[in-house]
Structure 1
Amino acid sequence: MILFRYLTREVLLTMAAVAGILLLVIMGSRFIRYFSDAAEGDIPVTILGSLMVFHLPGFMELILPLAFFLGILLAYGQLYMNSEITVMVACGMSPVRLLRVTLLPAAIVAVLVGLCSLWLTPAGALQTAATLEEQRSRLDVSVIAPGRFQDFGGGRTAYIGSFTSDGTEMRDVLVHEQAQAAGDEHVHSYITRAASGYQETRLDTGSRFLILENGERYGVTPGMQAAERLTFERYTMRMNLSQDRRELDSLEFATTPELWQDDSPRAQAQWQWRAGLPLMVFVLALLAQPLSRVNPRQGRFAKLLPAVFLYVAYLSLLLAAVDAVGSGALAVAVGVWPVHLLFLGLGMLLLWRSQRRGMR
C-alpha cells in the first residue's frame, strides 16, 4: 500500500506539472488571439474571461492524456535513475504488477477526460459559439475602436473620431451603409456624417438605436447621376440584428446522446472520437510503462522524444480515421477502433518484451 501511494503520487504530481505547462502555453496562445480581436473591436473585452473558461474542457481533453503519458515516462524514468526499480525487483515487483499500480491513476484521468469529451467540451463549444454570435448580432458600436473604419454588421461600416471621457457619447461619426429595395436591381449607398451621437436601447422592445445629431446624409446610386442630400439635427438609425446568423446545430455542439441516436457517418465519427479519448488514456499507460525503462547513464529524458513521436502518430491516425468515417470512406462498423487496437497491441508487445527481459 505504501509503494502504491508513492508511485501514484509521483505519477500524478508529474502529470499535474506537465499539464499546467501545456495548458498555460495553449491558453496563452488562444488568449492572445482573442485579445487581438478585442483590440480591433470585433469582440468586447468583458467576455474574454468567459470565452477562455468555455474553451478549457476542449483543451483538457487533449492535454490530460499527453500529460499522463509524459508523467509516467518521467516519474518511472526517475525511479530507474535512482535505482529504486532495482529495489522493487528485489522485493518481487514485476512489470505486470507495476501496470496494475498504474491503472488506478489511469482510471482517474480517464474519468476526467470522459467528462470533458462526452459532456463539457460540446457544451463549452456551444456556449462559445452562442456568445460570439450574440455579440456579433448586437451590432454594438461601443466595441468600435476610435480612429478607424470598422464593419459592425448589416452591411454597415462606421468611423468614430473619439469618445467622451465617460464613453457614452461619440464625436465625428461617419456611417456607410448599402441597401437594396425589393424589386430594385440597383444597390444604393448612403453616407451619414454627424458631429456627435450616442447609442440608445428601448427597454420595452429591446431594440437598439444609434442617435446622430447635427449632420448630413448623402444617398447615391452607382451608374446614376442623381443624388440625395439631407441635413438633420437628429437622426435615428435602427441597428437591426444581423440576418446572416451562424448555424448552431453543428455536430460539434450536439450532445453525446444525440450523436448516439444519429446514424449518419459524421455523427458516428464524432461519437467515436469522444468515446475513444478515455480509452486512449489506458492505451497510453500501457505504452508508457515499458518506454520509461532507461539506463541510468542515459538519463530519464532518453526516450522522451521517441515517446512524443509515438503519441503524435497515435493522435494523427486517430484523426485520420475520424475523417475517413465521417466522409464515408471507412465503414462506421469498423470506425476508429482499429487504431486503438493497433497501439494496444504495440503496448502489449512492449510489455511482454519488458517482462521477458526483466526490470533490471
Structure 2
Amino acid sequence: MILFRYLTREVLLTMSAVAGILLLVIMGSRFIRYFSDAAEGDIPVTILGSLMVFHLPGFMELILPLSFFLGILLAYGQLYMNSEITVMVACGMSPTRLLRVTLLPASVVAVLVGLCSLWLTPAGALQTEAVLEEQRSRLDVSVLAPGRFQDFGGGRTAYISSFSSDGTEMQEVLVHEQAASGADVTHDYVTRAGSGYQETSMETGSRFLVLKDGERYGITPGKQAAERLTFERYTLRLGLSRNRQELDSLEYASTNALWNDTDPRAKAQFQWRVGLPLMVFILALLAQPLSRVNPRQGRFAKLLPAVFLYVAYLSLLLAAVDAIGSGALPVAIGVWPVHILFLGLGGLLLWRSQRKGMR
C-alpha cells in the first residue's frame, strides 16, 4: 500500500506539473487571440472570462491524456535513474504488478477525460458559439471604443468620439452603411449625429440604434450627386437576436443525440468522444515500458520518441474520424483499428520489458 501511494503520488504530481504548463501555454494563446478581438472591438472585454471557462473542458480532454503519458515517462524514468526500480525488483515487483498500480490513477484520469469529452466539451462549445453569435448578430455599445472606426458586420462601420458619464449614450456618432453586392439599392449611406443610444424592442426582440440631431447622406459611387436628409431622431435597425437552437453543428450536439443520429459524421464524432477515455489506458500501457531507461542515458532519453508516438496515435485517430465522416471508412470499422493497433504495440513493448527484466 505504501509503495502504491508513492508511485501514484509521483505520477500524479508530475502529470499535474505538465498539465499546468500545457494549459498555461494553450489558454494563454487563446486568451491573446480573444484579447486582440476585444481590442479591435469585435467582442466586449466583459465576456473574455466566460469564453475562457467555456473552452477549458475542450483543452483538458486533450491535455490530460498527454500529461498523464508524460507523467508516467518522467516519474518512472526518475525511479530508474535513482535505482529505486532495482529495489522494487528485489522486493518482487514485476512489470505486470507495476502496470496494475499504474491503472488506478489511469482510471481517475480516464473518468475526468470522459466527463470532458462526453458532456462538458460540447456544452462549453455550444455556450461559446452562442455568446459569439449573439455578439455578431447585434451592435452593442459596450464593444465600441471612442476614437476608432469599427466594423459591425452587414457592411456597417461606426465611429464615436466619446461616451456619456454613465456609458449608455454615445457622443458625435458617425455610421457608414455600404450597399450589399447584388442589392437593388446601390447607395452608400453616411449618417452623422450629435448623439445616439441603443434600445431593444420588448415585443419583437429587435435592436435599434437611435440617433439624434444629425444628417444622413446617400452617395452613389461614381456619381457627383448625393441625397441629404436632416433629422432630429433617426432609427437604424440592427437585427434580431438569434436562437441558440440554430447552432446545430455536430460539435455542439450532446453525446446522446450523436448516439441516436445515423449520419456518418455524427457516428465519427461519437466514436471520437468515446475513444478519448480509452486512449488514456492505452497510453498508460505504452508509457510504462518506454519509461525504462539506462541511468547513463538520463530520464529524457525516450521522451522525444514517446512524443512522436503520441502524435502518431492522435493523428491516426483524427484521420480515421475524417474518413468516417466522408464515407471513405465504414462506421462499423470506425476508429477502433487505431486503438487496437496501439494497444497491441503497448502489449508488445510490455512483453519485451518483462522478458528482459526490469534491471
TM-score, normalised with respect to structure 1: 0.94
2:23 alignment counterpart: 23
Measured at CA, do residues 312 and 5 of structure 1 come closer, stay the same or move farther in structure 2, by a change above 3 Å? same
Cα deviation for residue 157 of structure 1 reads 1.6
Q: Which amino acid aligns with 2:187?
A: H
Kindly report the root-mean-square deviation, in angstroms, between the aligned alpha carbons of the 2 structures. 2.2
Measured at CA, do residues 154 and 101 of structure 1 come closer, stay the same or move farther in structure 2, by a change above 3 Å? same
Taking the aligned partners of 1:291 and 1:261, their CA distance within structure 2 comes to 40
Taking the aligned partners of 1:253 and 1:202, their CA distance within structure 2 comes to 30
Taking the aligned partners of 1:80 and 1:165, their CA distance within structure 2 comes to 66
Q: Which runs of 5+ in 1 are unaligned?
A: none
Cα deviation for residue 160 of structure 1 reads 1.5
Cα deviation for residue 205 of structure 1 reads 5.4
Taking the aligned partners of 1:54 and 1:272, their CA distance within structure 2 comes to 22
Cα deviation for residue 179 of structure 1 reads 5.7
Cα deviation for residue 204 of structure 1 reads 6.0
1:6 alignment counterpart: 6
Cα deviation for residue 339 of structure 1 reads 0.7
Larger CA deviation: 216-225 vs 84-93 = 216-225
- Please say if 1:187 is aligned against 2:186: yes
1:266 alignment counterpart: 265
2:157 alignment counterpart: 157
Question: Does the CA-based 8 Å contact 1:133-1:246 persist in structure 2?
Answer: no
Measured at CA, do residues 336 and 127 of structure 1 come closer, stay the same or move farther in structure 2, by a change above 3 Å? same
Alignment of 1:70-219 (within 5 A): 70-178=70-178, 185-202=184-201, 206-219=205-218
Taking the aligned partners of 2:71 and 2:202, their CA distance within structure 1 comes to 55
Question: Does the CA-based 8 Å contact 2:206-2:241 persist in structure 1?
Answer: no
Q: Which runs of 5+ in 2 are unaligned?
A: none
- Please say if 1:295 is aligned against 2:294: yes
Query: Per the alignment, in what secondary structure is the counterpart of residue 49 of structure 1?
Result: helix
Q: Percent identity?
A: 86
Q: Which amino acid aligns with 2:288?
A: Q
Cα deviation for residue 225 of structure 1 reads 6.3
Question: Does the CA-based 8 Å contact 2:133-2:242 persist in structure 1?
Answer: no
Cα deviation for residue 153 of structure 1 reads 3.1
Cα deviation for residue 186 of structure 1 reads 3.5
Question: Does the CA-based 8 Å contact 2:18-2:71 persist in structure 1?
Answer: yes
1:55 alignment counterpart: 55
1:64 alignment counterpart: 64
1:231 alignment counterpart: 230
Q: How many residues align?
A: 358
Query: Per the alignment, in what secondary structure is the counterpart of residue 172 of structure 1?
Result: strand
Measured at CA, do residues 324 and 206 of structure 1 come closer, stay the same or move farther in structure 2, by a change above 3 Å? closer
Measured at CA, do residues 158 and 204 of structure 1 come closer, stay the same or move farther in structure 2, by a change above 3 Å? same
Measured at CA, do residues 97 and 270 of structure 1 come closer, stay the same or move farther in structure 2, by a change above 3 Å? same
Large movers: runs of 4+ above 6 Å:
242-246
Taking the aligned partners of 2:268 and 2:169, their CA distance within structure 1 comes to 51
